[in-house]
Structures are given as C-alpha cells and as structure tokens.
C-alpha cells in the first residue's frame, strides 16, 4: 500500500436505500390515513394524531435521507494531510491532531475511534469540535467516531488503511 496517495471511499447504497424505502412507506401510510380519516373531521384518537404528525415528519425525513445519500457519495477521504469523513463534517482532521486510532465494538457495530489531542481540539473546525463535545456528554471516549457499516469497503480494510496512514503521518508515540 502506498501511503502517499489519496483514497476516496464511497458510501454504500444498500443501507440508505432501505431506510429511504421504509420512510417512504411510512410517509404514504401516514398521508393516506390523514386523507382517508381526517379530511372532514378532527383527530379523535392517538393513531390519528400520530398519522397527522407522521404525514409531516416522514416525508421530511425521506427528503433528508435522499439528500444525504446524494451529498455524501464520497464519504471518507484518506490522504497524507489527514482524514475527512464528510458524513460528520467537511473539514479534514490533520494526522498531527490524532493521538491514537482504535477499534471499538459494541453490539456487533464496529467503529473506528480517532483519539484527538485535547490541547489541539480548538484548532479543528466547528463541525468536528461539536462531535467531540457530544461524545464526551454521553461518557464515550473522547474522539471522533467513524462508522464503517455503510461504506463500499469492509471495516477491517478501512481500519487497516486509517492505521497505516496514522503510523506514517501521525504523531510518533512517546515511549
């Protein structure tokens, strides 16, 4: 593997399309209930109230999922300068700001955790800083979490690439 090249990893279509199909069906169902039951009357039970809310929420969620699928086609960029996960933010995280690269498994969900140097968090962009703050609120290890489930590459290969670039361009480990 040549660590001097820039690698672009695309989003997978399968998982997002499943979510889009599900929210589309819920949208049609909610709108259908609203049209059929409520056209001439006020909501009378909980199902009708849920259908009213769903007829607004589910189409918006479907539109957001479609927009996100189209926008983040190139999900992750790994380069000698750093790593950029466009699903999180448009900023690139320089390798010098990453202390450690680790794998975290939780209920069959594999995630890469990038340990960010706490003294250099302020140098990062606003989108990345907000992700670090949110992670610390939920008592998760401080860092950036990269979800490898909906990518066109398998998790082990992604982790291998990120670790190799970090070894080459990141901070040397203190002994």
Please check the confidence at residue 134 and state whether its pLDDT lies above 60: no
* Distance, CA of 58 to CA of 27 (rounded, Å): 5
Please check the confidence at residue 151 and state whether its pLDDT lies above 50: yes
Taking each helix axis as running N to C, give the angle between helix 46-71 and helix 14-38, from 0 to 180 degrees, rounded to the nearest 10. Answer: 150
For residue 157, what are its two tokens? Answer: 């290969």
Please check the confidence at residue 175 and state whether its pLDDT lies above 50: no
pLDDT tens by residue, 12-64: 777 778 888 988 998 888 888 777 776 666 667 777 777 888 888 999 988 98
119, 111 in Cβ contact below 8 A? no
Region class of 114: left (phi > 0), else alpha (psi between -120 and 50), else beta: beta
pLDDT tens by residue, 68-111: 777 767 788 889 998 888 877 777 888 888 888 888 777 777 88
Residue 120: per-residue pLDDT: 63
């Amino acid at each position: 593997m040549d660590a001097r090249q820039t690698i672009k990893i695309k989003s997978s279509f399968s998982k997002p399309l499943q979510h889009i199909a599900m929210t589309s069906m819920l949208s049609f169902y909610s709108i259908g209930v609203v049209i059929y039951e409520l056209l001439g009357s006020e909501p009378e039970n909980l199902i009708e109230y849920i259908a009213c809310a769903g007829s607004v929420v589910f189409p918006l969620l479907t539109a957001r999922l479609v927009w996100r699928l189209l926008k983040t086609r190139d999900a992750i960029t790994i380069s000698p300068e750093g790593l950029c996960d466009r699903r999180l933010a448009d900023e690139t995280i320089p390798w010098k700001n990453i202390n450690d690269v680790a794998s975290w498994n939780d209920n069959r969900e594999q995630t890469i955790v990038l340990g960010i140097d706490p003294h250099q968090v302020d140098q990062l962009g606003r989108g990345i800083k907000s992700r670090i703050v949110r992670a610390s609120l939920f008592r998760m290890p401080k860092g950036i979490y990269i979800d490898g489930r909906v990518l066109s590459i398998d998790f082990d290969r992604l982790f291998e690439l990120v670790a190799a670039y970090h070894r080459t361009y990141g901070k040397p480990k203190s002994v």
